[in-house]
Amino acid sequence: SEVALRGPLIDFESAEWTAQAISADLMRFRLSIMADVVMALADAALAVMLFFMFQPVSAGLSLGALVFRLLQSGLIAAGLLNLQAAIVFDDAELTLSFIALHAYGYDLGLIFFAANCFLTAVLILRSGFVPRLLGFGIGLSGVVYLTGSVLRFVAPDLHGFITPAYVLPLIAEAAFCLWL
pLDDT single digits (tens) 8-45:
999 999 999 999 999 999 999 999 999 999 999 999 99
* pLDDT tens string 76-130: 999 999 999 999 988 999 999 999 999 999 999 999 999 999 999 999 999 999 9
Q: What is the pLDDT of residue 117?
A: 98
* pLDDT tens string 47-83: 999 999 999 999 999 999 999 999 999 999 999 999 9
Q: What is the pLDDT of residue 180?
A: 94
* CA 68/CA 151 separation, integer angstroms: 20
Q: What is the pLDDT of residue 94?
A: 94
Q: What is the pLDDT of residue 2?
A: 87
Helix spans in the chain (H): 15-24, 26-54, 59-88, 92-127, 132-154, 159-162, 167-179
Q: What one-letter code names the amino acid at 36?
A: D
Would you say 119 and 112 are in contact if contact means Cβ atoms under 8 Å apart? Answer: no
pLDDT band (50, 70, 90) for residue 159: confident
Would you say 62 and 54 are in contact if contact means Cβ atoms under 8 Å apart? Answer: yes
pLDDT band (50, 70, 90) for residue 139: very high
Q: What is the pLDDT of residue 52?
A: 98
Half-sphere exposure of 53 (CA within 13 A, CB side): 17
Write the DSSP string, 138-175.
HHHHHHHHHHHHHHHHH-GGGHHHHGGGGHHHHHHHHH
* CA 4/CA 7 separation, integer angstroms: 6
